[in-house]
Structure 1
Amino acid sequence: MRVLMISRAMVAASQRARLRELAELGVRLTVVAPDRWEYQKFESDRCDAYELLEGRVRLGSTWLGRLSNHTFYYQGISKVIRREPWDLIHIEEEPFNFSSYHAAGLVRNATVPIVFSTWQNMMKRYPPPFLQFEKYLFRRAAGALPGTAEALEVLHRRGFLKPTAVIPIASVDPALYRKQDAGHFRRDLGLGTSFAIGFLGRITREKGLETLVKAFAMLPQNCILVLAGSGPFESELHNLIQNLGIEGRVRRIPWMKSGDVSQYMNSIDALVLPSLTCRNWKEQFGRVLIEAMACETCVVGSDSGEIPNVIGDAGLVFHEGDEGELADRLRRLMEGPSLRESMGQRGRERVLERFTHEKIAQRTLAFYQRILAGPAREPLEETVTIPTGL
């Protein structure tokens, strides 16, 4: 099976572990990743299981505005598409993005199935030309891979009724993320024997940090809050921590190497993801949850977006924005060592069943095979016009 994958996420080498697993299942995989994305430059790797191509990213700003997330495209992608007879093309982008429309429109052989990915978990009204891009992808694609159950629901509500499979792109290596001693990490943070509550992620208002800090202020003195990450809400959060008089019990880690995340998860007693649903956003997955669960660290999450579906029966959920309920959940964990142990074990089991690189690769291959075994595709009468120079 010859598969071409076009994916913005693959700019980072850390995102490619599932590709190796997919290739080891027999897929002849070629992946196009951008030469840069935001602050991330393309990272090469030495994996010979798949072919990795660096695509030059350009913005369609002269006629689409300057929304880079939605208007970028890969210069020269047509040469890759025409290079060999692909069995399937996987565009790992939202269907309303110009890059999806651009790549799909260059696939002149309409018998080659195209599948796209989506994480959009809220109904939104897209202005022209993005609505037209989405409509074209819906007609041209043979199937779709929504990353969450809510994304699948939105996809159906928007009228896409072709084959789908809910497969998250977030996954972990259980050999790296596992229960292990992190005593030195705790010592460096000055945690001692305190009950350590952690947060790892962007310090933004929508991540619910205000809820977490207020809940933490209700807990006994033998608790420490470890906030790892940075972001635009730092100043306001710092003022809130000072006003609540808890600065002596809060530890800050502004930046963390990806290789230290497992140690961090093992150094805390509970991880909290208190995300808040906003007008244009709600939690799409919460990768830190499965990283903590793989390490048998207890997780507590709000009911925003996909969080309850990720946690399942392996953690505790509270109503978003309710600091009192969050404080109650954390007290249960503090006072219940047997609950923490059983929850940690269930979390590890859930990750092994659903969220490892191997499991995600197996489910992705099964969907590819399902698409290829489907009815033959008729040539399209529609002609896509790509602006000159693209």
Structure 2
Amino acid sequence: MHLVVVSHACVTDVNQQVYCEIEQLGHRVDIIVPKNFIAPGLTTEPIKVRRWPDFKGRIIEVPIVLNNSIPLHFYKKSLKKIISELNPDAIYVAEEPYSLSCFQVIRNSVPLKKAIGFYSAQNINKNYPFPIKKMENYVYDRSALAISISADVTNVLRTKGYKHSICEIPLGVDEQHFQISCEQKMEARKELSIPNEAFVVGFAGRIVEEKGVDVLCHAMKTCNENNVEMYLLIVGRGPLLKDIKILVTELELTDSVRFVDNASHTDMPKWFNCMDVHVLPSKTKSNWREQFGRVLIEAASCGVPSIGSTCGEIPKVLKTLSMDLVFEEGNVEELTRCLQEAYQTSFSEEDIRSDVIASYGNKGIANKLVEAFERVI
């Protein structure tokens, strides 16, 4: 099978790895990416497109308009000629069905009479205004396959009228890149002036209100007041980074909190290995709830257990990983209890890693993607 993938996420090299696994299965993959994409809230300059070392296919860079928006960006020129020249068996638009780029690619691809699939992680039924709703329906009518990351997403797609094939495939993790590493742990702790024997709690992600970093800071304060000494590592950036730093000062946590606001996705194994426990304290908003929580499986692949809130898919993912430290979202007292329990518990790194690879390893995800597309070709 020859698959053409259109994906803004693949400007980041690690996101190409699952397609390397598809190549390893004997298939051909080419990827079309934006040439000038800016990650909203994370970067202010276009991301330089990098190739994952093991990916063999073509990476075709095409300039986009509205380059700092995921749902609103679109390509400056028609992709019909590019896709036609590539002549694939199937086209995978790894974008949400309501996005302008998904509509554009599928509209360009329909005349080529190829099997077309799209991706969705939208777990809330949102009624978009015209013309977005009309474009979304166009995508539904002309796609043979939807890749849904969860049962909630599947329910949304069916409720909105998508009638064709749906294959539920969760997000995956590159088990070769995200590995247990004592060397990375020692390197990270030395860089951050954290003692090797210290207990480190970590957060990784966007610093925005819905990620609940403030709740984690308050829980850390309570732990310290109860004479449970921990360090907190916050890896990420976003519009509330300055506010969180102010909160850390107000809570008198400055000595025990470390910030890393310049990490790339490729660097993340180092920072996960620095942690003894990872926390995803997300909070539901009116228009958002946690769609999956990829950091949970990336941390687990590094042998690190997670604590998570009850927001969205978090408890389901943790249950799959045989983890039960879950707290009611926004509840500082419950999170404090979970942190103290994690502090007193010995976890098996190898068991954690084994569980995540079995359910979410990219090798298995690649197999599922291939099977899904082969059914509709």
Return the TM-score normalized by structure 1: 0.86
Question: Aligned partners of 1:136, 1:263: CA distance in 2, in Å?
Answer: 43
Question: Secondary structure of 1:16's match?
Answer: helix
Matches within 5 A, 1:60-99: 69-83=71-85, 85-99=87-101
Q: CA RMSD in A?
A: 2.3
Please report how far the alpha carbon of residue 223 of structure 1 lies from its aligned counterpart in structure 2 after TM superposition: 1.2
Question: Secondary structure of 1:114's match?
Answer: strand
Please report how far the alpha carbon of residue 84 of structure 1 lies from its aligned counterpart in structure 2 after TM superposition: 5.1
**One-letter amino acid of the counterpart of residue 321, structure 1:** G
Question: Secondary structure of 1:36's match?
Answer: coil
Question: Secondary structure of 1:86's match?
Answer: coil
* Superimposed CA distance per residue, residues 23-73 of structure 1 (whole angstroms, 9 cap, x where no aligned partner): 22122222211112113132346656322211222359xxxxx96632523
Aligned equivalent of 1:229, options 236, 245, 268 = 236
Matches within 5 A, 1:95-110: 95-109=97-111
Q: Which residue of 1 aligns with 2:342?
A: 333
Question: Aligned partners of 1:349, 1:170: CA distance in 2, in Å?
Answer: 14
Residue ranges of structure 1 left out of the alignment (5+ in a row):
61-65, 373-390
1:113 matches 2:121: no
1:51 matches 2:58: yes
- Higher mean alpha-carbon deviation, 314-323 vs 125-134, is at 314-323
1:317 matches 2:323: no
Question: Aligned partners of 1:229, 1:59: CA distance in 2, in Å?
Answer: 24
Q: Is the 8 A contact 1:59 1:73 kept in 2?
A: no
1:274 matches 2:281: yes
Q: Which residue of 2 aligns with 1:160?
A: 162
Q: Is the 8 A contact 1:116 1:143 kept in 2?
A: yes
Question: Aligned partners of 1:183, 1:235: CA distance in 2, in Å?
Answer: 28
Q: Is the 8 A contact 2:14 2:266 kept in 1?
A: no
Q: Is the 8 A contact 1:150 1:305 kept in 2?
A: no
Question: Aligned partners of 1:232, 1:164: CA distance in 2, in Å?
Answer: 36
Question: Aligned partners of 2:86, 2:49: CA distance in 1, in Å?
Answer: 24
Q: Which residue of 2 aligns with 1:188?
A: 191
Matches within 5 A, 1:15-54: 15-38=15-38, 39-44=46-51, 49-54=56-61
Aligned equivalent of 1:285, options 292, 298, 322 = 292
Q: Which residue of 2 aligns with 1:135?
A: 137
Question: Aligned partners of 2:9, 2:266: CA distance in 1, in Å?
Answer: 18
Question: Aligned partners of 2:15, 2:359: CA distance in 1, in Å?
Answer: 17
Question: Secondary structure of 1:225's match?
Answer: strand
Distance 1:224-1:155 versus aligned 2 partners, 3 A rule: same
**One-letter amino acid of the counterpart of residue 334, structure 2:** E
Question: Secondary structure of 1:202's match?
Answer: coil
Q: Is the 8 A contact 2:106 2:116 kept in 1?
A: yes
Please report how far the alpha carbon of residue 310 of structure 1 lies from its aligned counterpart in structure 2 after TM superposition: 2.1
1:349 matches 2:349: no
Residue ranges of structure 2 left out of the alignment (5+ in a row):
39-45
Question: Aligned partners of 1:203, 1:12: CA distance in 2, in Å?
Answer: 20
Question: Aligned partners of 2:50, 2:267: CA distance in 1, in Å?
Answer: 19
Question: Aligned partners of 1:48, 1:248: CA distance in 2, in Å?
Answer: 43
- Higher mean alpha-carbon deviation, 33-42 vs 114-123, is at 33-42
- Higher mean alpha-carbon deviation, 99-108 vs 30-39, is at 99-108
Question: Aligned partners of 1:172, 1:44: CA distance in 2, in Å?
Answer: 15
Q: Which residue of 2 aligns with 1:212?
A: 216
**One-letter amino acid of the counterpart of residue 77, structure 2:** Q
Q: Is the 8 A contact 1:24 1:49 kept in 2?
A: no
Please report how far the alpha carbon of residue 221 of structure 1 lies from its aligned counterpart in structure 2 after TM superposition: 4.2
Question: Aligned partners of 1:259, 1:175: CA distance in 2, in Å?
Answer: 8
Q: Which residue of 1 aligns with 2:42?
A: none
Question: Aligned partners of 1:314, 1:287: CA distance in 2, in Å?
Answer: 16
- Equivalent residue pairs, number: 363
Q: Which residue of 1 aligns with 2:370?
A: 365
Please report how far the alpha carbon of residue 16 of structure 1 lies from its aligned counterpart in structure 2 after TM superposition: 0.7
**One-letter amino acid of the counterpart of residue 319, structure 1:** E
Distance 1:328-1:309 versus aligned 2 partners, 3 A rule: same
- Higher mean alpha-carbon deviation, 7-16 vs 76-85, is at 76-85
Please report how far the alpha carbon of residue 19 of structure 1 lies from its aligned counterpart in structure 2 after TM superposition: 1.1
Q: Which residue of 2 aligns with 1:248?
A: 255
Q: Is the 8 A contact 1:69 1:97 kept in 2?
A: yes
Question: Aligned partners of 1:227, 1:242: CA distance in 2, in Å?
Answer: 14
Question: Aligned partners of 1:336, 1:44: CA distance in 2, in Å?
Answer: 40
Which has the greater radius of gyration? 1
Please report how far the alpha carbon of residue 164 of structure 1 lies from its aligned counterpart in structure 2 after TM superposition: 1.1
Q: Is the 8 A contact 1:2 1:88 kept in 2?
A: yes
Question: Secondary structure of 1:41's match?
Answer: coil
- Higher mean alpha-carbon deviation, 242-251 vs 202-211, is at 242-251
Question: Secondary structure of 1:218's match?
Answer: helix
Q: Which residue of 1 aligns with 2:310?
A: 303
Question: Aligned partners of 2:90, 2:254: CA distance in 1, in Å?
Answer: 54
**One-letter amino acid of the counterpart of residue 322, structure 2:** A
**One-letter amino acid of the counterpart of residue 37, structure 1:** F
Question: Aligned partners of 1:183, 1:82: CA distance in 2, in Å?
Answer: 50
Question: Aligned partners of 2:376, 2:16: CA distance in 1, in Å?
Answer: 23
Distance 1:68-1:24 versus aligned 2 partners, 3 A rule: closer
- Higher mean alpha-carbon deviation, 155-164 vs 321-330, is at 155-164
Question: Secondary structure of 1:120's match?
Answer: coil
Distance 1:47-1:350 versus aligned 2 partners, 3 A rule: closer
Q: Which residue of 2 aligns with 1:382?
A: none
Q: Which residue of 1 aligns with 2:176?
A: 174
